Chains A and B, each alone.
Chain A
C-alpha cells in the first residue's frame, strides 16, 4: 500500500471522527451512569429502535458474559423501550430522533460515544438481535477472552453474522419477552459463504447464508455483508467505517490469517428472522432508513409475501460453539 493510499485512509478516518463529533449534538442524554465505569470494564454499545421485547434477554445474556456497562442510543422508540432501559442500573442511555440513515446507520453516534467513553476499554458493538458466541463461551467469561487477547497483543476480534431461522414459517412461533430467541430460530446455513478481500480496507467481505440463498439467489453480489468485528480494544483514534464491518486504521481489520493458519474468531447469532420480522420489515420499508435504499428489505418483503420459510433440508441445528467450530464457522485459533 502506497503512501498516498495511507494518507487518504488517514484523512478518511479523521473525516469520520469529525463527523461523529458533529453528530454528538443529535444525542441527548437520558441517563448517564458512565461515572460508574471502572478502568478495566467491558463496555457494550448498541443502537436500538422499538426492541422492547428483545431487550430483557439481550441484557441478561450479555450480563452473563460479563459486560459491565451498556451504552444505548435509542432512536426514537415508541414501544416503551426507552423507559425500560432508563431503569437498568448498568445502562447509560441517549435518545435521538434524528435520521438513522444520515448518522450512517448509527455508526456516527456510536463512534462518538465510543470515543468519549470507550477509550482503552474492550468495547463490544452489537445490535439487539445479535448474540456473541466465542470459543469456550460456555465455560469462560468474556473477560477471559479479552485478557487473552490483551496478552496476545490482539486488538480486534471478529465474529461473523450468522443468520438464524426457525423451521417452518417465520411467524409460526411468537417470541415471548425474556425468551432466548435461539430457541425459536435454531437453524443456520453452515457451508455456503463466499469471502473476498477488500483491498482498500484490508477486511474480508463475507456473503452467503440463508438471506443470500433465498432472497438473493439471482443477484448474489447484492447479498448483505456478514463480516463483523464487534469486539475491539478501543482507542479514541479508531472509527468504525461501515456498521461494524470494518474499521480504521485498517490494521484492525486484519482479523484473519493469510498464511494458512487460523486466528481465533467467534460468531454473532443473528436472530432477526422470527415472528417480529415481518412487522419490522414492513416498517423499515416504510421508513427507508436502511442500507442501499433498503434494497434488502424490499427483497425480503417480496419473498416473504409468498413463502416465509428459510429452512431447508440441509439446514444445521444449532447446538453450541463447539459445533460451530467443527463446522468451520469460527475458530479457537491458538486459544486452548
Chain B
C-alpha cells in the first residue's frame, strides 16, 4: 500500500541519522522525499543516496542551498512537496520534518491520528501583532522591509540595510489578498491545501515577495495556508523548543524520560550522538505509549526555566558566569534581611531577645571593626564565610550578598552603627530586600555608660555623629530602595513598643510568638545631663532629639511591658 502520510525531510548534517529515521518512516509505509542541502559535499551526498537507493519509497528532490533565514529552504520544501504529491498519489497529508527530527510515538499512531482528521492542516500560524516570538526586534518589519543580505554571514550589511530602510521610511507592499502570518517551520498540510499553494496562479508574485522577506520558511506556508485551508489547527505536531536567541533546544540521552512523557509525535532537535534516544524511539512500535492528544506542556516548564535562568538568573547570586552591572541585578541580595541600627545600644540583650522572639538568625555588628560578629560568636558561618574583618572589608558587598545567599531560607538580622565599617551603606540602601530600622543618636548611650575621660568621649561623640549623619543622608536619598525607618532616640523611647511591633510584623515570623516579654531598655537616668555636658564642651549632639536636662529622660526606667505586643 502507498501510505497516506508523506514525509518531506530536509537534511543538512548527520546523514547517518537521517538515513535511520527515513527507514523508520518507511517501515510504517510512509513515502519519504528527502532534500539534502547543497552545502553537503557531493561525495557524501552520493553515498547517502546510494545507501537509500534500495527503497523505491524514498526519493531525493533537487538540491538547493539552504541558509538559515533565506528563501532556499522554502524553495527546497516546495520542490520536495511537489515531488511528493506527484509521485505518491495516495498521500493525503504531507509532514515536513528535518533530519534531526525523531518520531517519538509509533508512526502508525500518527497515520491514524491524521486519518481521523482528513481535512485538518496542522500549521502554527499567527499574525505578527499577536505574538512576541521574534528575536532581534524584527516582527512586522520582516514583511515590510527587504532583506537581501545574510544575517549569518553579512551581519553588518544586514543591520545597516535595515537601518537605512527605516531611516528613509521604506515599506514594501504586501501582495493583495495576503495577511502575513508566521509560525513554526514544521507543519503538516493536506494534499488539498498544499497543492492549492503550489498551483496558485499567483505563485510567481508571492514568491517574488517572499524571497525578500526575512525568514520566509516561517511565513511562506504559514501565510498561504491561511488563504486556502478550510480547517487550520494552529499548532505544530513537532515538539520544538526555542531558546531566547530563537535557536532550537537540543535533546540528549538524559531527556529520554521527558520525551517519553511528552506524548508528541515528533521531536526536534535531537543531538546526533544521542544513541539512547535513537535506539529507544526507532525500535518497533511495541513500546507504544498511551493514545492521547499531543501535549508538549510537560516539557515546557524545563525549557522555560532554562530561558529564564539565562535571561534573569538567580537574584542575589554573583558568580563566574553571572556578574550583573549595578542596576541590573534584579535583586541585589537573595532574600529579605533586617538591619538594626541603635537597638542593641538602647536595649539590654536586644539580640537574644530578637532571636527568641522571631526565630530569625540574629548577628551582632557584622561590620564591626574587629571582626564580623556572627550569631553565636562563630568564626565561620554558612558557606565557610569567615569573620575576618580584612576579608570582609576587602569586598563588603560580596560579604553581605554571600551571607544572604548562603543562608537562603533563613531570615538574617544584624546590628549596625556608626562605629562599624561604613562602606556597605550604599549597597544596603539600594537593596529592596533590606529592612533598615534606625534609632539615631543611640550611639551616645554606650558613651554615656562608659567610664572614660570626658575629652575622649567628646571626640568620639563628634566623630560618631558625623558618620551617622552621613549614613542618614544615604538612607534619605532618593535612590534608596530599602524599607527604611528612622526615629530619633527621644521620639523612639516615648513609645518604643509600637515601632518594634511594626518591625517584627514585617519580619514575617508568623504572628510574633507570645511577646510576653519586651526588651529591657537600659537605664537612661542622667542621659540628658550627659548630653548637656557635651553641649557645654561645644559639641552639639543633635541626632538623638531633645532630652530635658533636669530629671533625666521622660521615660519610665521600667518600660511598660504587657499592653503592646500581646495580640
A→B interface (CB under 8 Å): 136, 139-141, 143-144, 147-148, 151-152, 158-160, 189-197, 204, 206, 210, 212-213, 217-221, 227, 255-265, 312-316, 328-336
B309 and chain A: residue at smallest CB distance: A262
B393 nearest CB across to chain A (Å): 9
A194 pairs with B384, CB closer than 8 A:
no
A218 pairs with B388, CB closer than 8 A:
yes
In the complex, chain A residues whose CB is within 8 Å of the CB of B307: 334
Residue-by-residue, is B242-270 near A (CB-CB < 8 Å gives 1, otherwise 0)?
01110101101110000000000000000
In the complex, chain B residues whose CB is within 8 Å of the CB of A227: 320
In the complex, chain B residues whose CB is within 8 Å of the CB of A148: 250
A328 pairs with B314, CB closer than 8 A:
yes
In the complex, chain B residues whose CB is within 8 Å of the CB of A258: 323-325, 328
In the complex, chain A residues whose CB is within 8 Å of the CB of B323: 195, 197, 204, 256-258
B271 and chain A: residue at smallest CB distance: A144
Stretch of B48-56, B298-306, B483-491 with 4 or more beta carbons under 8 angstroms from chain A: B298-306
B73 nearest CB across to chain A (Å): 17
B310 and chain A: residue at smallest CB distance: A334
- A336 in contact with B398 given A139-B253, A218-B390 (CB within 8 Å): no
Bound: A334/B247 CA distance, A: 11
Q: How large is the interface on B (under 10, 10 to 19, 20 to 34, 35 or more residues)?
A: 35 or more
Of residues 204 through 236 on chain B, the ones whose CB sits less than 8 Å from some CB of chain A are: none
Bound: A256/B329 CA distance, A: 13
Please report whether the interface of chain A is mostly helix, strand, loop or mixed according to DSSP. Answer: loop
Can you list 19 A-B pairs, Cβ within 8 angstroms, ordered by A? Answer: A147-B250, A147-B271, A190-B384, A191-B383, A193-B398, A213-B380, A217-B391, A220-B390, A221-B394, A255-B321, A256-B320, A257-B324, A258-B323, A258-B325, A259-B324, A260-B312, A261-B312, A263-B321, A331-B319
In the complex, chain A residues whose CB is within 8 Å of the CB of B254: 136, 139-140
A204 pairs with B320, CB closer than 8 A:
yes
A197 and chain B: residue at smallest CB distance: B323
Bound: A132/B309 CA distance, A: 22
B320 pairs with A334, CB closer than 8 A:
no
In the complex, chain B residues whose CB is within 8 Å of the CB of A329: 319
- A191 in contact with B309 given A140-B252, A206-B320 (CB within 8 Å): no
B265 nearest CB across to chain A (Å): 21
B324 pairs with A334, CB closer than 8 A:
no
B384 and chain A: residue at smallest CB distance: A189
The one of A160, A213, A314 that contacts B382, using a Cβ cutoff of 8 Å: A314
In the complex, chain B residues whose CB is within 8 Å of the CB of A331: 309, 313, 319, 321-322
A217 pairs with B329, CB closer than 8 A:
no
The one of B314, B321, B385 that contacts A191, using a Cβ cutoff of 8 Å: B385
Bound: A148/B382 CA distance, A: 35
Q: Tell yes or no: B317 within 8 A of A by CB.
A: yes
A306 nearest CB across to chain B (Å): 16
In the complex, chain A residues whose CB is within 8 Å of the CB of B110: none
B271 pairs with A217, CB closer than 8 A:
no
Q: Tell yes or no: B172 within 8 A of A by CB.
A: no
A145 nearest CB across to chain B (Å): 10
The one of B309, B386, B405 that contacts A213, using a Cβ cutoff of 8 Å: B386
Bound: A331/B390 CA distance, A: 29
In the complex, chain B residues whose CB is within 8 Å of the CB of A196: 395
A312 pairs with B321, CB closer than 8 A:
no
A139 pairs with B402, CB closer than 8 A:
no
Bound: A131/B11 CA distance, A: 37
A205 nearest CB across to chain B (Å): 10
A72 nearest CB across to chain B (Å): 27
B321 pairs with A330, CB closer than 8 A:
yes
Bound: A331/B320 CA distance, A: 9
Q: Tell yes or no: B318 within 8 A of A by CB.
A: yes
In the complex, chain B residues whose CB is within 8 Å of the CB of A151: 247, 250
B384 pairs with A333, CB closer than 8 A:
no
B384 pairs with A261, CB closer than 8 A:
no
Bound: A206/B546 CA distance, A: 49
B391 pairs with A195, CB closer than 8 A:
no
In the complex, chain B residues whose CB is within 8 Å of the CB of A213: 380, 384, 386, 388, 391
A336 pairs with B302, CB closer than 8 A:
yes
B317 pairs with A192, CB closer than 8 A:
no
B384 pairs with A336, CB closer than 8 A:
no
B317 pairs with A328, CB closer than 8 A:
yes
B398 pairs with A257, CB closer than 8 A:
no
The one of A190, A221, A260, A264 that contacts B324, using a Cβ cutoff of 8 Å: A260
Supply 13 further A-B pairs (C-beta < 8 A) apart from A206-B320, A331-B322, A334-B311. Answer: A143-B273, A152-B245, A210-B384, A255-B321, A257-B310, A257-B323, A260-B324, A261-B311, A329-B319, A333-B309, A333-B321, A334-B306, A336-B305
B313 pairs with A192, CB closer than 8 A:
no
In the complex, chain A residues whose CB is within 8 Å of the CB of B406: 190-191
B384 pairs with A220, CB closer than 8 A:
no
Bound: A265/B249 CA distance, A: 17
B247 pairs with A255, CB closer than 8 A:
no
A221 and chain B: residue at smallest CB distance: B394
B244 nearest CB across to chain A (Å): 6
B100 nearest CB across to chain A (Å): 11
Bound: A221/B394 CA distance, A: 7
A331 and chain B: residue at smallest CB distance: B321
A261 pairs with B309, CB closer than 8 A:
yes
Bound: A220/B303 CA distance, A: 40
Bound: A118/B330 CA distance, A: 40
Q: Tell yes or no: B381 within 8 A of A by CB.
A: yes
A231 nearest CB across to chain B (Å): 13
B383 pairs with A314, CB closer than 8 A:
yes
The one of A159, A195, A220, A260 that contacts B330, using a Cβ cutoff of 8 Å: A260
- A261 in contact with B386 given A220-B391, A314-B381, A334-B306 (CB within 8 Å): no
A195 pairs with B318, CB closer than 8 A:
yes
A226 and chain B: residue at smallest CB distance: B320
- A192 in contact with B386 given A256-B321, A258-B328, A260-B329 (CB within 8 Å): yes
A191 pairs with B402, CB closer than 8 A:
yes
In the complex, chain B residues whose CB is within 8 Å of the CB of A312: 380, 384
In the complex, chain B residues whose CB is within 8 Å of the CB of A315: 384
B382 and chain A: residue at smallest CB distance: A314
Bound: A207/B318 CA distance, A: 13
In the complex, chain B residues whose CB is within 8 Å of the CB of A141: 273
B303 and chain A: residue at smallest CB distance: A336
B378 and chain A: residue at smallest CB distance: A313
In the complex, chain B residues whose CB is within 8 Å of the CB of A334: 243-244, 306-307, 309-311
B273 nearest CB across to chain A (Å): 7
Bound: A261/B273 CA distance, A: 29
* Most chain B CB inside 10 Å of its own CB: which residue of A141, A194, A316: A194
In the complex, chain A residues whose CB is within 8 Å of the CB of B302: 336
Bound: A217/B388 CA distance, A: 6
